Amino acid sequence: MSSKENTYSVHTIWAWTEEQLEELQKLWSPLEEKYNSTITYIPEKQCFEFKQTSHEILDELRNALVEILLKKSIDAKPITMVPYRSKRRSKNPVRDTSVPVGLPPQHLEKIDSKTPSVLDRIEDTNGLEDTYYISDSVRDVSDMLGRNQQFSQPCDYLREICKDSGVDGSINMERRTIHIVGGKRRNVSEAIKRLKELERVYLRPCFKPQEIPLVHYPNQNIFFKLYFINIKSHPWFKLMFNSSIAKDAYVIIPAVKNHITQKWTLPKYVEPERNKNTAVVDNNVNNNAPTRAKTWSDKVVGKKVDEKGGINVVMRNVILEQNPNSSNSSVNGNSAGTPGKMLRDYNLNQISRVLSEGLEYVRSQREEIRLFGSLGKVLFTKVSPNVSNKLWDFLELKDIIVGEHGVCPLYRNHATTNETLYQSFVKMLGNSKTICSRSSFFEINANARNSPHAGYTPVSMYVNCDFVSLDKVTTQWNQLVNVDWTVLDRNYDFEISLHSRRVLRSDVKPFSTFMKKVSVSPTTNVITYENVTDFLHVKSINYKQVSRYKLHEPFIAELTRIEQVRISEQPTRKIIGKTGQGSYWYTIEVINDKHNKYFKNNETLGPGQVTEWTVDDIIGDDSSKLHIVEYVKAMLLLVERCHKLVEIHREELKKKDNMKKVRELEQQLKNISVES
């Protein structure tokens, strides 16, 4: 016959949330295994129950559970009412033991009147005090506790920290100490924690911008070298850039080894003068253009896309549906020794390292944070003959070519200036069902200050065209991380960037004074304004029209038309900016909607606070880096789709040009026949 089980209840005065209960369950799980018992929380009774046959085991389990509850009660909220429990009157009178709520009944012989109760211990935490000692490395304590900036209210970080933490604080400048008093233990601990973080942020050095050049070769199974060629000699890019840029700019093309001659050869499309002493790679290029351009909806995660039909062999080897930076992304599943595997591992390590450093830096920044990918072209300047006359390995690009030889990467985020190609991009990205939103606004770049004795600060003002309101004023973007990704044998490259900037108050002078003189025509989008003498001077105006399209979850593409507004001064103080007359171009950027929700927390950070999101939330955990890998996959897919659209557009231009030549030839033949 088994012994009877005894039920034990531990009642508490704290209200436990679901997250706290999950943490408690993790802490008491070892107790359940050790004592072979199950601990259950009953919300109606506000108590924890467990069963055992042995009274000694019950006592040990009770004491261990109470220690856990007391430790976690610092973060819990006390309740004002104790749940009602029916009182059962025993036939035998029992001596009053005055057991407080929150602790289980003790054995009568162990009760001591000198033992403090839980309520006494909680009351003791009120009125606590602590002292924070400022590091000797802090030269200017006043600057650390309140750094005043233009266009913002006077800062008093100590006052804000004490107010948010529910304590009082006083500073002794001679002893370099901050005395914290009042509140409960968790309030004092929170204030000390934020002061430590405030000092750490103040003492850390400014983040050094990182620009990392990487390459991607679509053919994963071929060893390749890098060759620098001037864009004047490149058939694709010599027409895309003006003469001033083409004079000193270079792009990278691949060189592969011919298995017959055992020589490194350049692609077939390179100009003939570059190939006089160089064999040509047989890429088996089919000059017939693809019959149809795929839309983004044709790419479904987990399904294979037919990339054949008029595409060269290199493009056929691109497996976009598989992870471009994972070890199992080859067709056969065994890519440990392939060039693509080595390249993917190197690229993943580089982008993870620089993004981790940048993201960790901005976690304590009260700024607008933006992580995005953009379509464009990576150029290289300051390329010496020592660099352009040699073949290089991709591992030498960052440290040797850029680091030692001083070659400078230059990224241009222009997707196109052609209206026909732009319409092709719109069809590729989606339709009316996939479009998220459309907006248009003026981006006014100016130099401004709020005091005649202060220096000018470059700012950007965003004016809504519909309501003629000042939506936002910011400083210039601080480019923390730029990863320039050259995609070999493709018309486009991409860049993944991490930028930050400070959001300024828009309701203060000189911005409020400037907006009183601003007017926008709703039909012609002509903007009229006046400079604020000695306080605000407009440098340039961009008129932006942004269309946002949903890609596969959670990515969103932003297709933007940017026009440089032509500014003309009038005899009066009025200045007119006319749209439709300046130069324009299109950009395509890809953002992660989940990342933007995380970064919103940065805009409301208080002094000494750190965001709840972590680096792993953005790039993925230490092992897989899945989030950033998916980002790279989305950008590679965008490069491939846009590359094919450009190829189709180029073939159509060739057909039109050939038709024009045919007509001219026919006309010449007619003229000859008439003369004869």
Condensed to tens digits (0 to 9), the pLDDT of residues 74-99 reads: 666 665 444 444 444 444 444 444 44
Most confident of the following: 308-317, 553-562, 644-653: 553-562
* Residue 356: band (very low, low, confident or very high) from pLDDT cuts 50, 70, 90: very high
Q: What pLDDT is stored for residue 674 in this prediction?
A: 56
Residue, of 380 and 294, whose pLDDT is higher: 380
Q: How far apart are CA 201 and CA 364, in angstroms?
A: 8
Share of the chain above pLDDT 70, in %: 78
Q: 134, 177 in Cβ contact below 8 A? A: yes
Residue-wise pLDDT for 200-253, tens only, equals 999 999 999 999 999 999 888 888 999 999 888 888 787 777 666 667 899 999
Q: What pLDDT is stored for residue 306 in this prediction?
A: 37
Least confident span in 15-24, 45-54, 222-231, 293-302: 293-302
Distance of CA 68 to the CA centre of its chain: 38
Share of the chain above pLDDT 90, in %: 45
Domain architecture of the chain: domains with CATH: 6-122 (no CATH), 129-203 (3.30.1370), 212-221+284-656 (3.20.100.10)
**Residue 5: pLDDT over 90:** no
List beta partners, residue 112. Answer: none
Q: How far apart are CA 319 and CA 317, in angstroms?
A: 6
**Residue 394: pLDDT over 90:** yes
Q: What pLDDT is stored for residue 532 in this prediction?
A: 94
Q: How far apart are CA 330 and CA 68, in angstroms?
A: 50
**Residue 102: pLDDT over 70:** no
Average pLDDT of the residues of the chain: 80
Place of tokens 């944070």: 369
Nearest Cα neighbor of 216 from 303, 297, 319 is 319
CA contacts within 13 A on the Cβ side of 107: 9
Residue-wise pLDDT for 143-196, tens only, equals 888 866 666 666 889 999 999 999 999 999 889 999 999 878 889 999 999 999
Tokens of 113: 């009147």
Tokens of 224: 């390749």
Q: What pLDDT is stored for residue 669 in this prediction?
A: 65
Residue, of 193 and 28, whose pLDDT is higher: 193
Q: 254, 283 in Cβ contact below 8 A? A: no
Residue, of 90 and 21, whose pLDDT is higher: 21
CA-based radius of gyration for the chain: 34
Q: What pLDDT is stored for residue 77 in this prediction?
A: 64
CA contacts within 13 A on the Cβ side of 186: 9
Query: Which DSSP letter does residue 471 get?
Result: E
Q: What pLDDT is stored for residue 216 in this prediction?
A: 94
Q: Hey, CA dihedral for 241, 246, 248, 254, is it positive or negative?
A: positive
* For range 569-581, the mean pLDDT: 90
Place of tokens 């890098």: 226
Q: How far apart are CA 542 and CA 548, in angstroms?
A: 19
Q: How far apart are CA 328 and CA 313, in angstroms?
A: 22
How far CA 3 is from CA of 6, 62, 503, in Å, comes to 9, 20, 70
Model pTM? 0.72
Place of tokens 């850039």: 241
